[in-house]
Amino acid sequence: MTGPFLYTSPQSPASATGVVADVYAQVSADFGVKDAPTFVALSASPSLLTSTWALMRDSLLAGRASRTGKELVAAGVSLANRCPFCVTAHAVLLHATGDHRLAEGVLRGEEPEAPGDRALLAWGRDMRGPWPFPADEAPEYVGTTLAFHFINRIVSSLLSERMLPGGAERYRLVRRTAGRSLAGTVRREVRPGASLPLLRTDGEAPAWMDDGPVGTAYGALLTAARAGEELLSEEDAASVRASVAGWDGVTPLPLRAELPSRARRP
């Protein structure tokens, strides 16, 4: 499958069946984006696909907390992780909430004027300091940050930086128009927990998370992500850990279109 995908060639969503097709249908209905590349990139691993979607859906899309506030937190995470695809996507979604000036300001790297908005964006960047949101909304806000720390890494590893064909997202009119097309979906109420039956893994929710759908989804994603370690030999796992530990978080890793064999590994 062609498109924005790097290092992988996922099957066309049109050929999806089973739980993968079910996730695509929910993404289209609840997120408003048909064949969202972030989730298509995960389609080869139903356990990762279902848990990533469930965590994002039940933290960012569902619940009672402000969607604008959660988009600001997600934008802060994406800025910290230097994920231009994701920063632009959250700017478009802020346009969808009707906060056009805020959307463009975040994209330009400006601090929001409203103290509450400024605090949420800053907290998303580093998650330090007191929560700038009520305690009963913590699962949604914390779940959003954790979801996008994972999603940012998937996007940065497996997708190009262009969100739209030809890089059309660099034009403000395009961003605003894209946001307007999503406005109805963003304002629609999303029923919490509807994605949980799709999960293919389970796991214990962390102690700081309640036993609601966000905690369930996070536990499932943690289990699914950790399962990947079992695919590596101890030697390869040690190499990955050493590479990540020595990375400065800024310099691009030397990824190649064709990964080196063990014999040619640095």
User: Is residue 257's pLDDT more than 50?
Assistant: no
pTM: 0.89
pLDDT at 256 over 70: no
Is 237 inside any structural domain?
Answer: no
pLDDT in tens, 133-192: 999 999 999 999 999 999 999 999 899 888 788 889 899 999 999 999 999 999 999 999
What percent of the chain is predicted at pLDDT more than 70?
A: 92
Asked whether residue 62 is domain-assigned, the answer is yes
Q: Which tens digits make up the pLDDT trace of 72-97?
A: 999 999 999 999 999 999 999 999 99
Confidence class for position 266, pLDDT limits 50, 70, 90: very low
For residue 240, is it within any domain? no
Between 208 and 66, the more confident residue is: 66
- Any domain includes 36: yes
Q: Is 83 a known active-site residue?
A: no
For residue 21, being part of any structural domain is answered with yes
Does the structure show a pLDDT above 60 at 116? yes
DSSP output for the chain: --SSB-S--PPPGGG--HHHHHHHHHIIIII--TT-HHHHTTTT-HHHHHHHHHHHIIIIISSSS-HHHHHHHHHHHHHHTT-HHHHHHHHHHHHHHT-HHHHHHHHTTPPPSSHHHHHHHHHHHH--SS-SS-GGGHHHHHHHHHHHHHHHHHHHHHB-S-SSGGGGGGSHHHHHHHHHHHHHHHHS---TTTTGGG-S---PPPTTS-SSHHHHHHHHHHHHHHHGGGGS-HHHHHHHHHHHHT--SSSPP---SSPPPGGG--
In a domain, 246, yes or no: no
Per-residue pLDDT, 147 = 97
Total of domains in the chain: 1
Quick one: which of 90, 211, 208, 104 has its CA closest to 148? 90
* pLDDT at residue 1 in the model: 60
Confidence band, pLDDT 50/70/90 cuts, at residue 239: confident
In sequence order, the 6+-apart residues with CB closer than 8 A to the CB of 24 are 13, 16, 34, 35, 39, 40
168 occurs within a structural domain: yes
Nearest to 49 by CA among 86, 13, 93: 13
- Is the pLDDT higher at 110 or at 235? 110
Q: Go through the chain and tell me how many residues it has.
A: 266
User: Which one of the listed residues 48, 72, 77, 86 is annotated catalytic?
Assistant: 86
* Residue 257, domain member (yes or no): no
Residue-number span of the structural domain to which 110 is assigned: 13-228
The reported pLDDT for the residue numbered 238 is 86
Most confident of 45-49, 127-131, 249-253: 45-49
